[in-house]
Amino acid sequence: MPKLIKNGSVIDDAAQILVLDETQAPEALSLPEGPVFVPLAVWQAHKGVLSDNKAVGVWLDSHESVDDLAEDLDSLSAVALNFPKFTDGRAYSGAALLRTRYGFKGEIRAIGDVLRDQFFFMQRCGFDAIQPKTGKYSDAQLEEALASLQDFSAPYQAAVDQPEPLFRRARRAA
């Protein structure tokens, strides 16, 4: 079963990421069994039906805006943000906006080209679920990669995981 880092530990995760190929229209809905993340287009075409199904989350690609989900967040338990390449940093802003602007309390999952050296930044921006591609890391490597969540113990600036900057949290020596 695919692995997921959730709140700092590795767990099994059965959720599927539904990806439409070019021949599939979002209007033609065929959901797999069990928990699933559907593309934004599918969500928008079927949200009347899907919003009662707690097994359904939405995933956004990096060019898609979290603003387009703003009205729907109450009926969602999870949003996944895709990193098409790990150097595409748009999802960091997306996650931060979901947490701070829209007050989203559900799961925010990093999917796609997700590498351990970005875990720390992801966590700081509000991702509580991190899912490297299946096969990217062995189980042992994934356990070892948890250490990257703790790369820095006292960051300077405010972010989602630490809403106060260091200068407000600590009495610093002059």
Partner 1 sequence: MYRYDSYDQKIVDERVAQFRDQTRRYLAGELTDDEFRPLRLQNGLYIQRHAPMLRVAVPYGLLSSTQVRTLAHIARTHDKGYAHITTRQNVQFNWPELKVVPEILAELAKVEMHAIQTSGACIRNITSDPFAGVAGDEYIDPRPWCEVLRQWSTFHPEFAFLPRKFKIAVNGATQDRAVIQCHDIGLELKRDAAGEIGFRVLVGGGMGRTPIIGTEIIDFVPWQHIITYCEAILRVYNRYGRRDNLYKARIKILVKALGIAEFKRQVEEEWAFGKNGPNTLTEAEVARVATHFTTPAYETLPADDAAYASQRAANPAFAAWTRRNVLAHKVPGYAVVVLSLKDPSRAPGDITDAQLDQVADWADAYSFGEVRATHEQNLVLADVKQSDLFAVWEKARAAGLATPTFGLLTDMICCPGGDFCALANAKSIPIANAIQARFDDLDYLYDIGEIELNISGCMNSCGHHHVGHIGILGVDKNGSEWYQVSLGGSQGNDTSIGKVIGRSFAAAEMPDVITNIIDVYRAQRLEGERFIETVRRIGLDPFKIGVYGDAAIIERKQHA
**Residues near partner 1, by CB under 8 A:** 65, 86-90, 92-94, 96, 100-101, 115, 117-118, 120-122, 124-125, 141, 151-159, 163-168, 170, 172-174
CB of 29 to partner 1, least distance (A): 30
CB of 32 to partner 1, least distance (A): 31
- Using CA atoms in the order 120, 122, 127, 133, what is the torsion angle rounded to 10 degrees? -100
DSSP assignment string, 105-154: -SEEEEEES--GGGHHHHHHTT--EE-PPTTTS-HHHHHHHGGGGGS-SS
CB of 18 to partner 1, least distance (A): 25
Q: Which is nearer to partner 1, 25 or 144 (CB)?
A: 144
Number of Cβ within 10 Å of residue 135's Cβ equals 7
Q: Which is nearer to partner 1, 20 or 166 (CB)?
A: 166
Q: Which is nearer to partner 1, 64 or 107 (CB)?
A: 64
Q: Which is nearer to partner 1, 56 or 131 (CB)?
A: 131
CB of 48 to partner 1, least distance (A): 29
Q: Compute the distance between CA of residue 51 and CA of residue 46 in angstroms, rounded to an integer.
A: 8
Instruction: Determine contact, residues 113/86, Cβ cutoff 8 Å.
Output: yes
